[in-house]
């Protein structure tokens, strides 16, 4: 077996998707769960239509005039925060509106 065939087999076996966007992130580290700068660069080079959709959805209009690396950073940052903001916002809401000394009902 050639080395390139081995790499293709490993890549097929380790296919993973981003938790937020659902895009393939097999080119990233094994531990990563969200799309990062490396994957965004890959999509920019190989799949410009997909990158354009990601850019339209996750990049704010203020950041569109920055250089490409900065755009990759902000897109990855916004994708990661889309998941964690919902969790953290709920926790902060409960801390603010339901103090610990108030009676809590767990349904």
**Range of the structural domain that residue 59 is part of:** 3-97
Q: Is residue 24 part of a domain?
A: yes
Output the tens digit of pLDDT for each of the chain's 107 residues.
455 555 555 555 567 777 788 777 777 777 777 888 888 898 999 989 999 998 999 888 888 899 999 999 999 888 888 878 888 888 888 888 888 787 777 76
Q: pTM above 0.75?
A: no
Amino acid 79: pLDDT: 87
The pLDDT assigned to 52 comes to 92
Asked, for residue 81, whether it belongs to a domain, the answer is yes
* Residue 34, helix vs strand vs coil: coil
CA distance 96 to 80: 24
**Tell me, what's the pLDDT at 8?**
55
Q: Can you read off the two tokens belonging to residue 70?
A: 């900065």
45: in domain: yes
In a domain, 104, yes or no: no
Output DSSP code: residue 62. G
* Burial call 86-96: b when 16+ CB within 10 Å, e when fewer: eeeeeeeeeee
Does some domain include residue 107? no
- The answer to whether residue 105 sits within a structural domain is no
Is 103 inside any structural domain?
no
> Considering its fold, how many domains does the chain have in total?
1
106 lies in a domain? Answer: no
């Amino acid at each position: 077996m050639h080395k390139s065939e081995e790499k293709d087999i490993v890549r097929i076996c380790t296919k993973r998707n981003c938790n937020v966007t659902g895009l393939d992130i097999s080119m990233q580290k094994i531990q990563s769960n969200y799309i990062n700068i490396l994957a965004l660069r890959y999509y920019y080079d190989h799949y410009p239509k997909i990158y354009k959709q990601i850019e339209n959805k996750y990049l704010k209009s203020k950041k569109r005039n920055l250089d490409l690396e900065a755009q990759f950073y902000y897109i990855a940052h916004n994708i990661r925060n889309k998941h964690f903001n919902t969790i953290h916002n709920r926790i902060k809401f409960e801390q603010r509106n339901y103090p610990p000394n108030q009676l809590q009902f767990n349904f």
